Amino acid sequence: MLPRLLVKALATEPIQPWHGPAPQAPQRWLLEACLAPPDVAGRAWQQWLEQADFDQTDAASHELASLAVLRLGAAAGDGSVVQRCRGLQRRAWVVSQLGLEVAAQVAAGCRDRGETMLARGDLAMSLLGVSFMGRPWPVRGLSFGAAPGGNSLAKDPGVVVGESVAGDLLRNGRLLIECRRSPRPLWKHALPAPEAWEGLRVPSMGWLLADQVTRNWCWEPPGRLRWVLELIESLKQAPDPEALADGIVLAASQLGSLAALRAAIDDLATLSGSQALEPLGRKLRGLHLSRRSRWRLAAVTAAPTSLERRGLRLLDQLRTRLGP
């Protein structure tokens, strides 16, 4: 018996990481389970369940599956995969609460030093109040942007976190924290964080969403695929979706990511439940994309080791030196 189990274990293929930028067919079913009308969402969920091997599924799909179960409720069923997804939901909630505790201590550390840092990613989305099924998006990790003039906490924001459960989670590597240089336009258009988070600034919603697309529409996205839901839900919940779409397009143009934004919207517009993207798609279809922006998009969406990516990076560097 033991040799047979050993052979089976050795024969199991390792989990293959997902490479972007576009979601693959199983991930599109999960996105539709989160977004589409109930009957379409239920069918998409069943399609995914029929082909899913949960133990061999990538982390992006694990997260989407847990959100799909939250959205579908009892319609998701009660099998082992659903139970594991609910376990992921509980874990995400606990990590999120501890992450917010750490972020509050970082904000206090900035305040005490008379400095400020930019909240990005999950933390910024949480502070701006966008929700999914009436719940705040869980904070999976903490991403900060250093001020243009530098920050004393930039090298290790977690140094101000005291002894606590949250501190232990951070020091054990179960909660990731980073601080990196942010594009200057993000700082220029950042807003003060709510009073309880004094010491931090937050990008406006249009800039945050444009930044999310810029960072994730690439070969190896850092944020998995939840950003797709964040983009669509933000447009759904916006008081003025047209104005938000204008803000996203303006921000993407200043970040040099219009080509990435248009490619992402063209791909995602085929999802059932993505009608909220229509204002963005309409505004992007009439825009001219420079050759340089197309080069940049091709460079970040190609495999890192490909000759195409290396060549496109070289062309972009030469173009930068030569000027427009």
Beta strands in the chain (DSSP E): 117-120, 131-132, 135-136, 141-146, 176-181, 190-192, 200-203
Q: Tell me the average pLDDT across 80-96.
A: 94
Rounded alpha-carbon distances, angstroms, from residue 203 to 27, 40, 200, 214, 313? 28, 34, 10, 14, 28
Residues contacting 33, CB < 8 A, separation 6+: 41, 42, 44, 45, 48, 64, 68, 71, 72
pLDDT of residue 267: 95
Q: Tell me the average pLDDT across 304-317.
A: 59
Take residue 287 and report the two structure tokens written for it.
């825009």
Average pLDDT value over all residues in the chain: 86
| Single-letter amino acid, residue 209 | L
Q: Tell me the average pLDDT across 65-83.
A: 95
Take residue 26 and report the two structure tokens written for it.
């199983």
**Residues 225, 63 contacting (CB under 8 angstroms):** yes
pLDDT of residue 221: 85
Q: Hey, how many other C-beta atoms are within 10 angstroms of the C-beta on 109?
A: 20
Q: Which of 106, 95, 97, 119 is nearest to 161 (CA)?
A: 106
Judge whether residue 57 has pLDDT over 90.
Answer: no
pTM of the model: 0.86
Angle at 224 between CA 307 and CA 178, to 5 degrees: 90
Each residue of 221-273: pLDDT tens digit?
887 899 999 999 999 999 999 999 999 999 999 998 999 999 999 999 999 99
